[in-house]
Structure formats: C-alpha cells, structure tokens
Amino acid sequence: MTSSIVASDRTMAAALLRLHFHDCFVRGCDASVLLDSTPGNTAEKDSLANANSLRGFAQIDQVKAKLEQVCPGVVSCADILALTARDAIVKIGGQSWVVYLGRKDGVVSVASESMVSLPSPFADYTQLVQSFATVGLSEKDMVVLSGGHTIGTTKCGAFSQRLYGFSGPGAINGTDPTLDPEYAKVLKQQCPQNAPLNTVFLDPSGSFPGQTYDKGYFEAVKANKGVLASDAALLTSSFGASLVAVEASATSPFMTDFGVSMQKMGMAAAPKGAVLQVRKNCHFVN
Ligand code: HEM
C-alpha cells in the first residue's frame, strides 16, 4: 500500500520517513506523534517543531483503515510508522532493512516534549550527538541518519539566518562563511529575505530533485552545501567530517549504514511504565 501512496506522490517518501523519526525521538516509537490535541492538551503534532511541517497523516490513516478491516486491533500505529517509512524508502530506490514488529501505541502526547527531544536545525555538533544519545543512538547513527535529508524540503525559515543574519566568526555581510558562496547565492534567490515559508530541497541532486534516495546529501555536505546549520555542523568534528567523506565516496556504504541505523532508531522504547495499547484509530486513545 505504501508503494501506491508513494507512486502517486513521490514527496510522501520524505514525509513518511520524517514522521517515523519524529515519533521515535519523543517517548520512543509509540505513535505519540499521531495523537490529536484535546481541549486540555496540545499534542506533539501541533508543536512548533511539527505544525505545518509534518505530513503524511492522512496516508497513515489509509493504511490503518485497511489493516483494521482485515485484522482489527492487531497492528499498532507505531508499527505502521516504522513499516511505511521503510517501504517508502525502498519505493524510491533505497535498500531495505528488517523492521522488527510489536511496538505498542502510547496514550500521551505533549507538544512541549517535542521541543525538548527533537534536534533543532540550529544545533551544533555536540548538541546533535547529545540529542541522538537520548534515544540510544551513537555519533555514527547521528551522521548516517542525517542522510535522511537526501530527500525532502525545508522551509527557508529553518536556515535563513545563515543567509542574512549570521554574526559568527568570518561572517560575510550576514552570510555564514561555511556555506559555499555560490550556493549561498542560489539559496538567497529561493529564499528572499522575509519569505520564511518558501521551501528548498535539502539535497537537490539526482534525477528527481529532493526525491532521489542516494548519497547526494553527503556529497552536498562535503562540498559545504548542507542547507541547515545542523547539516553543516557535521563537518565541524573530525569524526563527523571523515564519516561524511566516507558516505560521500564512490564506495559509499550509505544504503547499508542507513538501514542499520534506522533499525536501531526504530527500537527506541516507550518510557518504563507507560500505558500502551494498539489504538483503533491513530488519532485517539482507545
Ligand atoms: C540531525 C538532526 C535533524 C535536524 C535538526 C532536522 C531538521 C529538519 C528540518 C528543520 C526540516 C525541515 C522541516 C520544514 O521546514 O518543514 C527537516 C526535514 C526533513 N527531515 Fe530532518 N532533521 C534532522 C534529522 C533527520 C533524520 C534523522 C531524518 C530521518 C532519518 C530526517 C528526515 C527528514 C526529511 C525526510 C525531511 C523532509 C520532510 C518533507 O519533505 O516533508 N531528518 N529536518
């Protein structure tokens, strides 16, 4: 089913991958990202990090509805997120990985927790490593999984400070000197000042710009064309820079490495003692 979803809208691969990532980083992979806000509670999906940005909810609903028809109450929303992310990547040319099943759905979703647990696009290398460590992921996992940015888009607002408001060392008229100057010009055209909602590809390389699953992201980062400050930050550590070079190389292990790290990310457990269930509808607790 994921295959037909992605066939009809190739951008869904990025959306489904990101949904799984944003799920696992907050309360483990428990589909808390799919719960709706209630009168007394703003849920993760409506946090600043996710609102008007996460996509794919309707597509997850389609998959869930189909599964509930054939085997009601068996497949959790969290397992659906893990499976659709994997199947979407395979559909656009990525290498498959084994998704272990048996995740259960949580009953709690709190917007403020997304803001604490999800890495910020302004994060430096140390902050990125810390953020991934919180869910049991290593420095290598962090660099490799950043390769998820081989697909998809970002709003200009997430990085325009690098184009117009950079005041760190070596700033060139407000532009981050670690961004390739020619590429900075291109990005400035796509992201004029005060247009925070315009979007650009995180990695425009490949036959389908922003939708080609390949090592292009690492080639871009290596060439100082990483878009987000967090992408550029990978070059600021010697470990990060050498791993970026390996992943960008002619013999890139990216496809295999990505599957290994995704499998690990998908094991992020819900907090001890959390109430868990298989939701009937991914939007609501039973
Ligand atoms: C390393 C820390 C990370 C940061 C700071 C980060 C931040 C961001 C930001 C700011 C966007 C743009 C959102 C928007 O403007 O709507 C984005 C998009 C995206 N991210 Fe990340 N991300 C990180 C890691 C990851 C990981 C680990 C994955 C998956 C394995 C991932 C997959 C994606 C995808 C696929 C998109 C495009 C979504 C779309 O086109 O709908 N990111 N990310």
Q: Residues 178-202: what's their mean pLDDT? A: 96
**pLDDT reported for residue 195:** 96
- The Cα 173–Cα 164 span in angstroms is 7
pLDDT digits (tens, 9 = 90+) for 193-233: 999 999 999 998 888 888 999 999 999 999 999 999 999 99
Output 169 or 28, whichever has higher pLDDT.
28
pLDDT of residue 193: 94
pLDDT of residue 281: 98
Both tokens assigned to 240: 């990060």
Percent of the chain with pLDDT over 70: 100
The answer to whether 276 touches 270, Cβ cutoff 8 Å, is: yes
In the Cβ-directed half-sphere of 110, how many Cα atoms lie within 13 Å?
Answer: 6
Best residue among 33, 149, 243 to mutate for probing ligand 1's pocket (most ligand atoms within 8 Å of CB) is 149
Q: How far apart are CA 36 and CA 144, in angstroms?
A: 31
Map the chain to HEC letters: CHHHHHHHCCCHHHHHHHHHHHHHCCCCCCCHHHCCCECCECCHHHCCCCCCCCCCHHHHHHHHHHHHHHCCCCCCHHHHHHHHHHHHHHHCCCCCCCCCCCCCEECCCCHHHHHHHCCCCCCCHHHHHHHHHHCCCCHHHHHHHHHHHHCCEEEHHHCHHHHHCCCCCCCECCECCCCCHHHHHHHHHHCCCCCCCCEEECCCCCCCCCCCCCCHHHHHHHCCCCCCHHHHHHHHCHHHHHHHHHHHCCCCCHHHHHHHHHHHHCCCCCCCCCCEECCCCCCCCC
Task: Supply 140's token pair.
Answer: 């290598």
The active-site residue, picked from 5, 6, 18, 22, is 22
> Is position 30 annotated in a ligand binding site?
yes
Comparing 123 with 210, which gets the higher pLDDT? Answer: 123
**pLDDT tens-digit series, residues 255-279:** 999 999 999 999 999 999 999 999 9
Could you tell me which CATH number the domain at 139-262 has? 1.10.420.10
User: What CATH code would you report for 2-118+263-277?
Assistant: 1.10.520.10
Residue 209's pLDDT is: 86
Residue nearest ligand 1's atom 12 by CA: 154
Average pLDDT along the chain: 97
Q: Is 20 a catalytic residue?
A: no
What tokens does 144 get?
């490799």
**Ligand 1 atom 17, closest CA:** 154
- How far apart (Å, rounded) are the C-alpha atoms in residues 38 and 23? 18
Show me where the domains of the chain are located. Answer: 2-118+263-277, 139-262
Q: What is the pLDDT of residues 72-104, one digit of tens each?
A: 999 999 999 999 999 999 999 999 999 999 999
pLDDT at 68 > cutoff 90 = yes
**Mean pLDDT over residues 98-119, rounded?**
98
- CATH topology of 2-118+263-277 equal to that of 139-262? no
Residue 203 in marked binding region: yes
- Is residue 210 in contact with ligand 1, taking CB distance under 6 Å? no
Using 50, 70 and 90 to split pLDDT, how confident is the model at 1? very high
| 129 Cβ inside 6 Å of ligand 1 | no
pLDDT at 206: 80
